[in-house]
Structure 1
Amino acid sequence: MSMLLEVEQLETAYGSSQVLFGIDLSIRPREVATLLGRNGMGKTTTVRSVLGLTPARAGRVRFLGHRIDQLAPDKVARMGLAVVPEGRRIFPNLSVQENLLAFGTNRNGSREPWTLDRVYAMFPRLRERARNMGNQLSGGEQQMLAIGRALMTNPHLLILDEATEGLAPLVREEIWRSLAALRDQGQAILVIDKYVDRLVKLADRHTIIERGKVVWAGPSALLAADRSLSERYIGV
């Protein structure tokens, strides 16, 4: 099976400070993958470099078989790569429905594209709050909206940066259920999160980075079998 996303020997720096040192990462169609590691190890920078927000200094990024590491972020997004960013970043002065409709397009050419009704079916609370402004939502509702907004673009690949950070336990469970449903529907997903026990049940493969380098990569079965990996590279 051909790769959906291929990151090869990615190096990125902020000014004279290098952050990524030869990151390799790949995701197949219909696959769920994770990027793991403690805070400050380069996970978000990796995502930003893939999206073109922080240009890579070296290496290659291919999406759908095309080089994208020199493309502007808007062109990368139009190819069908959507992100739910850390901090959600929804539009506070637009209603829930307006936030969703603003991103409505069919970038993957789906015969059954994501619509308002499909998003509301996945997150019934958003239907209840459809006329509320973004700044009137709780943190959990904002995260649901951020995921729904990304789905409205009908992406080939959905990236979630800190998918459940700061959410109440019940809301966190709702997010996990929605991600499992998306996986079952064949949506390719890259998840950044710290709850390894949930991720090994959700995802197919995992990549762990430390200080901007890949220190381990493998399937869920191996990660679940070796608790020392979580303790060494992910636990606080």
Structure 2
Amino acid sequence: MSENLLKVEDLVSGYGRSQVLYGMHLQIDAGQCVTLLGRNGMGKTTTVKNIMGMHPAWQGQVRFKGFGIQNLPSYRVAQRGIGLVPEGRQIFPNLSVEENLVATAADRHKKRNPWTLQRIYELFPRLRERAGNFGNQLSGGEQQMLAISRALMTNPELLILDEATEGLSPLVRQEIWAALALLRREGMAILVIDKNLAPLLQLADRHYIVEKGRIVWDGDSDALKADAGARQKYLGA
């Protein structure tokens, strides 16, 4: 039986007087890949910020491995085992690729096969080639590989990717999807936000669609493939 890893319940949040989330909920079990889908401005990134302690929730609960994390600062959430690949990548521009990777590296949970520089360079050989280059000297695709790798170097139990392939070339997208498929096969739990539905239908176990701060549809890939009405109404796909 799969272990419940992350559970978000009745999450209410916003900015100032503007409410964004209206009872958001989702669940990720150990080893699952789950998507959070929806048009821009519907509350996906706010949900991620609430999970990661980057923005306070007004109401509701965020539980990771059964422990409430909604009131923890971001660094404590990360220490508990959640790695974030944020929208916009946010790598350190004045550090080299290798310095970016080791800056926050940790193996707090003593994994059997932890992520190391060697494993990262095997996953993304291009980063080995660019190891001495500064972050601001990389292409957009290389920066996204670095952002994913930096999160992996914290050896998380759950990896969250906000806009995993936005603005990337088709070839780089394929490389990112292949890497995520490998992580999934290795048993890492993943929450991914992206607009490219076709690869997500192959990758993910479950999908949640958010509309105006509420989950309006959820189900597995077969159900989403079959529900053309939901795809057109909420995703324009």
1:83 aligns with 2:88: no
Amino acid of the residue matched to residue 167 of structure 1?
A: L
Q: Do 1:7 and 1:60's aligned partners in 2 also have CA atoms closer than 8 Å?
A: yes
User: SS of the counterpart of 1:215?
Assistant: strand
Please report the RMSD computed on the Cα atoms of aligned residues, expressed in angstroms.
0.9
Displacement, 1:109?
A: 2.3
Aligned to 2:234: 233
Amino acid of the residue matched to residue 162 of structure 2?
A: D
Q: Which runs of 5+ in 1 are unaligned?
A: none
Aligned to 2:179: 178
User: Where do 4+ consecutive residues of structure 1 move more than 6 Å?
Assistant: none
Aligned to 2:37: 36
Aligned to 1:152: 153
1:20 aligns with 2:21: yes
Q: Which runs of 5+ in 2 are unaligned?
A: none
Cα deviation 1:42-100 (Å, max 9, x = unaligned): 00000000111111000001001100111111111110111000000000000000000
Q: Find the aligned partners of 1:153 and 1:174 in 2 and give their Cα distance.
A: 21
Displacement, 1:225?
A: 1.3
Aligned to 2:61: 60
Displacement, 1:229?
A: 1.6
Residues 125-134 or 98-107, more deviating:
98-107
Q: Do 1:107 and 1:155's aligned partners in 2 also have CA atoms closer than 8 Å?
A: no
User: SS of the counterpart of 1:186?
Assistant: coil
User: SS of the counterpart of 2:147?
Assistant: helix
Q: TM-score, normalised by structure 1?
A: 0.98
Q: Find the aligned partners of 2:138 and 2:53 in 1 and give their Cα distance.
A: 30
Q: Find the aligned partners of 1:123 and 1:107 in 2 and give their Cα distance.
A: 23
Cα deviation 1:79-129 (Å, max 9, x = unaligned): 011100000000000000000011211133211100000000000000000
Q: Find the aligned partners of 1:92 and 1:55 in 2 and give their Cα distance.
A: 28
Within-5 A mapping of 1:54-133 = 54-133=55-134
Q: TM-score, normalised by structure 2?
A: 0.98
Amino acid of the residue matched to residue 15 of structure 1?
A: G
Cα deviation 1:104-161 (Å, max 9, x = unaligned): 1113321110000000000000000000000000000000000000000000100000
Amino acid of the residue matched to residue 133 of structure 2?
A: N
